[in-house]
Structure 1
Amino acid sequence: MKALERASTFAGNTFAYWVILFAALALLFPGGFTWIGSYISLLLGIIMFGMGMTLSASDFKEVISAPKKVLVGVLAQFTIMPFTAFGLAYLLGLPPEIAVGVILVGSCPGGTSSNVMTFLARGNTALSVTITSCTTLLAPLVTPALTLMLASQWLPVSAGAMFKSVVTIVLLPIILGLIAKSLFSKQVEKGAKALPLVSVIGIVAIVAAVVSGSKEKILESGLLILAVVILHNALGYLLGFFAAKLLKMNYADQKAVSIEVGMQNSGLATALAMAHFSPLAAVPGAIFSVWHNVSGSLLANYWGKKAKKMEEEQNTTSP
């Protein structure tokens, strides 16, 4: 069990490297990964089941103790990213399938890795966890509605079918995870230490499947999609940070909201794109999965070092 725990910690700390490595391998040897494409929804369901097993009442304590902060984070998540995605798709004249893929990424809830990045950045981790949990539970209604509103001018969107998919992929696994935790609390507590490893394997497999299945399209449009993903992600961090600052939230809260807004559940976007649109529409989600873990690690490292330096300066100046 100790070995599994160490492997899980190592996988979580090196998440971005594994995503990049297997994305590259999927481009070089696509035949070895295309078979995973049929299991994308199942893999995401397993990840969401793990999330359900880790949820507790304390994850929502910020809703009661600081409802304004949570509301700001949730509203920022479901306004900044989707409307920024729409603006980028419109202004850059993106092809329909890529435009829909970018909007899908923007319309999804926050990614669970944002909680880890917020912790490393010395932000308000409790706030980050609460916002992630709230946006994830709201996703079955909000994600299809936003996609219908913003993406239907490019491709037909069935909000009802997407609602069923999000319920199946996200909500039901989370509920089953909560039930498993309540029935087998001791076993779940022991197994929870392996969940980061399961999440890393799941996301890496999803990215590899999409990259391998869309190799030709990535080589053709990859630079354009990468540029849009980097811009979308950066604007999410920036606008999330300034939205929190404008509303006079403290620095730790600003970092939490910034990271929460900038990092998306791109695995869900990828699964929805594969199920309801096309493999090309799934590429922005796959590339976002790679990039936001890289950028999130860099940003968290910068903020973490800055916080440590400030603490050291305060310690040296205090009597």
Structure 2
Amino acid sequence: MKTIANFGGWMTKWFTCIVVAWAVLNYFLPELSLWAKSYTNYLLSIVLFGMGLTLDINDFKRIIKMPLMIIVGTIAHYVIMPLLAVFLCWVFHLDGMLAVGVILVGCCPSGTSSNVMSFLSRGDVALDVSIGLLSTLCAPFAIPILMETLASQYVEIPTQKIFLTAFQIVVIPVIAGVTVHTLFAKQVRMVTPALPAVSQLSILLIIGVVVAANNAKLISKETALLIPVVILHNLLGYLLGYIFSRLMHLVYPQGFRYAQQKAITFEVGMQDSALGATLALKAFAAFPIVAIPSTFFSVWHNISGSVLSAWWRRHDDRLGIDPNSLTGKAPEKSAEVSTAR
């Protein structure tokens, strides 16, 4: 188990590089992952079952005990990212199935990578996990409604299929994981070190499927615009998430402290792109190109999240800002006062 845990730690450290290398390999050798196209929903279910195994009843109790920040953070995520997606499609004149793909990834819940980034930046990880949990559980309801509202101008949205697929691969595995953790906590602790490696391997295979399925269109004039769109979608999500949390700090200073502002920033800006890719392959099976924005997002937000969390940590260390600071401002240095005689 120690070997698997070390392997998982190595994959976490180099995950972005591994994703890029794996995507390139599948671009030239699509047969490596194409066989798994019919199993992407099961692969994501494994990831979310693993997420459930890391949770216990206390994580749900936290939502009841501190509902304001968690609910507000979840609403911010489901308002900011979908509307940003629509705005960017308009700015870059995207239409058709590419626009559907951009909006789909914008309508997804927050990504699990945000928990790691929040931890690295010394944000409120408990709040981060709680928002991620609530946004994930809301996904089967939020995604079909948002897609029908924002993307139906491009294509008929299979809302029922999106709901059923999301419910099957999101809610059921998470609840099953929590139940197993509750009943067999001791045994779960023994296998927990292996979960990161299993999840990352599953996500890699999903990415490989998307790249393989879009082999002919992945690098083309049609998809070139997706790169700036995805980058701006993610970066503007961070910016608007931070601005939103700062505004909430003015309303409720004790609740939206500096650490909570970091958590909400990452929760808003980072998406569950693996879910986006899986839903695209299942709900829009005839148009695998819909999954490309989610794949690009998966690579990019791991890069940007790592850079932002590292910058935030160095920034705080340089200015001597306490992680539990109320405002996030550097402490004032006491000035030496000399008396002239």
The TM-score bracket by the shorter chain reads over 0.9
For 2:325, the equivalent position in structure 1 comes to none
1:2 corresponds in structure 2 to: 2
Match of 1:55 in 2: 55
Q: Does 1:250 align with 2:251?
A: no
Range moving further from structure 2, 286-295 or 31-40? 31-40
Find the partner of 2:267 among 260, 268, 271.
260
Q: Deviations over 1:250-298 (max 9, x none)?
A: 2211111111111100111111111111210011011111111111111
Post-superposition shift, 1:93? 1.9
Residue in structure 2 matched with residue 119 of structure 1 by the alignment: 119
Other structure's SS at 1:110 match: coil
Q: How far off its partner does 1:90 sit? A: 2.5
Corresponding letter in the other structure for 2:183: L
Mapping for residues 47-86 of structure 1, pairs under 5 Å = 47-86=47-86
User: Normalized per residue, which structure has more helix?
Assistant: 1
Q: Distance in 2 between matches of 1:95 and 1:11?
A: 36
Alignment pair present for 1:298 and 2:307:
yes
| Partner residue in 2 for 1:275 | 282
| Ranges in structure 2 where 5+ consecutive residues have no aligned partner | 250-255, 323-329, 335-341
The equivalences for 1:164-203 within 5 A come to 164-203=164-203
Q: TM-score, normalised by structure 1?
A: 0.94
Contact persistence 1:26–1:212 (CA under 8 A): yes
Q: Are the counterparts in 1 of residues 57 and 182 from structure 2 also a CA contact under 8 Å? A: no
Do the aligned partners of 1:23 and 1:211 also contact (CA within 8 Å) in 2? yes
Aligned length: 318
Call closer, same or farther: CA 1:62–1:181 in 2, change over 3 Å. closer
Partners of 1:300 and 1:26 in 2: how far apart? Answer: 30
Name the structure 1 match of 2:46: 46
Q: CA–CA distance in 1 between the matches of 2:86 and 2:280? A: 16
SS of aligned partner of 1:219:
coil
Point out the more displaced range, 100-109 or 176-185: 176-185
The residue number in structure 2 matching 1:227 is: 228
Deviation of 1:96 (Å): 0.9
Deviation string 1:222-271 (CA, Å, 9 cap, x unpaired) is 32111111111111111001000111122211111111111100111111
Distance 1:253 1:178 in 2: 25
Higher-Rg member (1/2): 2
Q: Which piece of structure 1 moves more, 219-228 or 283-292?
A: 219-228
- The alignment partner of 2:155 has SS state of coil
Gaps of at least 5 residues in structure 1 are none
Q: Is the CA contact 2:82–2:103 (under 8 Å) kept in the aligned structure 1?
A: yes
CA RMSD of aligned residues (A): 1.9
